[in-house]
A and B are shown apart, each in its own frame.
Chain A
Amino acid sequence: MKQLLIIEDGHEYEEFARLFLGETFTIHAVHSAQAALAVLGDVAIDCLLVDLRFDRAIEADLVGEVDHLSQTLFAGNRSQALEYIKDNQGALVLAELRRAGHDQPAVFVHDFPKGKLANLQRLYGRLTAVPSFDAATIRAALLER
């Protein structure tokens, strides 16, 4: 059976996957990039299902330098920088995984603007996005069919 790693700030993706993707995949779920890297070190993961927004994560668990970003992108506004990092955390987590050499196909459940999706694919290789929680489409995307 294929090994699926879910990275999210809550449990919604995991609950959905256990109910609808459980026949195809063994499910592993984590809530941070660090935890994801630990699982990827131990298990031969085949694909990744990544949440984009990490509203509920605490700052210490997030990938991204809030202070640096607040200076370079948000004219010193730390709240805006933190919000931006939370809103895009999934992409930043994926960047960390790719940097560590993990190039499994990654799927986001998000309706990205086409240009942004193209940029993400250019940056992180095997990546697709599905607009809603449609199990058949997500399964096909994870298996790259």
Chain B
Amino acid sequence: MVRAFSPVVALHFILGMGWCFSCAETIGPPSSGAGSSMGVDGAAGGQRGRRESCDQQWQSAQSVWQTRDAQAFRMWRGIEQNCPQAATARQLLLEADQWYQKGLTLFENRDAVGARVAFERGARLAPIEPNHYFRLAKIYHRHGMVEKAGKYFEKYLRAVPDGDSSEEAGAALTEIARNSIDVLDPDQSEQAPPVGEPVSTLWWTLGAAAGIVLAAILWLVVRYRRGASLTGLIEKNATLHTAIAYLIGTMRHELLKHRIGPVADVATALSSGQITPAQEAYLRQKLFAGIGIDTAWQMHVRAFEQALGGQFNHRRDRQFRAAARAIDAVAAFQPKLLGISGPAVGQLSRAHDELRRFDRFLGDQLSLLVRTRIDKPFAKQVFEELRGEYAVSTVALDELSYEIGTSSVFIEVPRADLMVILKNILRNAIFAVRSNRENRRVQMALHTELQPTGDEVVRLYVRDSGLEPLTTEAIAGSDLNTGLGLVMAAVQRYNGTVEVQSAPAPYNKAVIVRFFRSLEEEEESLR
């Protein structure tokens, strides 16, 4: 399935206006256990009847969810308690709700990309609690997206007609509707400026024609000159890196791996002249079934342009232009896959090679996007900037040091954000030891650890000898206006975690930030 991505439009889809995730397939009804082989005695029959009823409830709850009906949530919650599926449903609803809540918070803070990712994660697990429609509608309204707000107020009212906020939603909807009608109010048209002296039809026609030509030229100029290529945009706008990384990842996985990948098999099978009907059917399905491959490409490109606020222009990007030509070449084979040979097969192979090149280009861009090298020079810079701060410089310390080996590691966090994270934790640690009469120590250390998944975990320890208590929960609950609140928000943004542990003497506690190591080739990130 192709996932087109525009943060705002996508949120709308995810939350029930037509988005079809594979979630209903991913969370299938749990196995009802080994089936009883007993005869149809009363107890077994009753047990089986109950099991069937449970299965039925679970299946219909899932089916309703697939249609994105707002009632799905109630059906999931309503599965009878003695059904084994009830616990599964509740657990999934709970887990999904954490993502939905996070998505709403992010969207509230205008992080539509982050919100979309969070909603996607929620939608992979379970339906959304209908009360969230109201909050979402209000956010859309605050963001000035009145039409979307109206749809979600309406959706909320349909799902929760007697809810606590129904009255407010109804009033908001009426207000939106009234404003909308005002536009078409016939009284307004009467206020149009009076028409001046009659002008000859010829002048009107010439004027209109000139206007159209000018508008067309302007449109063409804007269309081809606005925005930047992907590489250009990556270089000049670091704030878009996370969104670009997501868009690239989606395009590579959905389009280039799963749909373009089989093109090589098509070419090989055709050139050998031994393609079987089953193979042909499989390849045709991969390449051409559902959304056409050219339409899928256009959807991905549009997702790039919409999500990046029009700052990206695929027409200005040589790699995208070449890939678009290759996609057109592949799409041209749609009516006739069987029976082509010779030069046509060569053309298909060349298109595939071009798209493989494009995939490698995207992979290279992805590896460059959000990486920071943690090494001694980086640590030195963090400490120097910190020492330069007046409040920090007034604290006399017995130790302010870092322990970082000679080798460096990369993590997928932009340098500026990593600086903010570490400086805030270190500053907090320095202020924590300020009230000690002696033993005022702060140390930063780096450790990596290989996981059985092949990933490497990078842990940055900031240890201090301060006696003030600090807990993981306290950091997690910190207000965004505080340093640690900022740390928490920044770390979560890059899929990291923060926790507090006790530390060996002479320290008292350690704040530990965890990220995954970036395992691309290190030289690639040196631009």
Chain A interface (Cβ < 8 Å from any Cβ of B): 15-16, 19-20, 55-56, 58, 60, 73-80, 82-84, 88, 91-92, 95, 111-120, 123, 131-137
**15 A-B contacts, Cβ less than 8 Å apart?**
A19-B276, A20-B265, A73-B457, A76-B472, A79-B95, A80-B495, A83-B121, A88-B455, A113-B518, A115-B520, A116-B454, A123-B450, A131-B261, A132-B256, A135-B264
Q: How far apart are the CA atoms of A118 and B522 in the complex, in Å?
A: 13
- The chain B residue with its CB closest to the CB of A130 is B261
Residues on A with beta carbons closer than 8 Å to the beta carbon of B367 = 113
Q: Which of A16, A76, A88 contacts B453 (CB 8 A)?
A: A88
Decide: B121 and A123 in contact? CB cutoff 8 A: no
**Size of chain B's interface in residues, with CB distance under 8 A?**
50
Residues on A with beta carbons closer than 8 Å to the beta carbon of B456 = 115, 119
Residues on A with beta carbons closer than 8 Å to the beta carbon of B508 = none
Decide: B25 and A75 in contact? CB cutoff 8 A: no
Chain B interface (Cβ < 8 Å from any Cβ of A): 22, 25-28, 30-31, 95, 98-99, 121, 124-125, 252, 256-258, 260-262, 264-265, 268, 276, 278-279, 282, 359, 363, 367, 450-457, 472, 476, 495, 497-499, 514, 517-521
Given contacts A131-B257, A134-B265, contact A75 B497 (CB under 8 A): yes
Task: Give, as a whole number of angstroms, the nearest-CB distance from A24 to chain B.
Answer: 14
Decide: B363 and A132 in contact? CB cutoff 8 A: no
Decide: B257 and A111 in contact? CB cutoff 8 A: yes
Decide: B26 and A55 in contact? CB cutoff 8 A: yes
Task: Give, as a whole number of angstroms, the nearest-CB distance from A114 to chain B.
Answer: 5
- The chain A residue with its CB closest to the CB of B521 is A114
New A-B pairs, 10, CB < 8 Å, besides A80-B495, A116-B454, A117-B454: A15-B282, A19-B276, A55-B26, A56-B25, A88-B455, A111-B363, A113-B518, A119-B450, A132-B264, A133-B262
Q: How far apart are the CA atoms of A55 and B124 in the complex, in Å?
A: 9
Residues on A with beta carbons closer than 8 Å to the beta carbon of B260 = 132
Q: How far apart are the CA atoms of A77 and B95 in the complex, in Å?
A: 9
Decide: A115 and B457 in contact? CB cutoff 8 A: no
Q: Which of B95, B125, B359, B518 contacts A131 (CB 8 A)?
A: B359
Decide: B452 and A123 in contact? CB cutoff 8 A: yes
B-side interface mostly: mixed
Q: Which of A16, A73, A91 contacts B497 (CB 8 A)?
A: A73
- The chain B residue with its CB closest to the CB of A124 is B454
Q: How far apart are the CA atoms of A32 and B32 in the complex, in Å?
A: 18
Residues on B with beta carbons closer than 8 Å to the beta carbon of A114 = 519-521
Q: How far apart are the CA atoms of A84 and B25 in the complex, in Å?
A: 19
- The chain A residue with its CB closest to the CB of B491 is A75
- The chain A residue with its CB closest to the CB of B352 is A134
- The chain A residue with its CB closest to the CB of B520 is A113
Q: Which of B99, B268, B498, B519 contacts A115 (CB 8 A)?
A: B519
Q: How far apart are the CA atoms of A78 and B495 in the complex, in Å?
A: 14
Q: Which of A123, A131, A136 contacts B268 (CB 8 A)?
A: A136
Residues on B with beta carbons closer than 8 Å to the beta carbon of A84 = 453
Q: How far apart are the CA atoms of A97 and B264 in the complex, in Å?
A: 31
Decide: A113 and B519 in contact? CB cutoff 8 A: yes
Decide: A91 and B252 in contact? CB cutoff 8 A: no
Task: Give, as a whole number of angstroms, the nearest-CB distance from B97 to chain A.
Answer: 10
Residues on B with beta carbons closer than 8 Å to the beta carbon of A134 = 261, 264-265
Decide: B265 and A75 in contact? CB cutoff 8 A: no
Decide: B28 and A92 in contact? CB cutoff 8 A: no
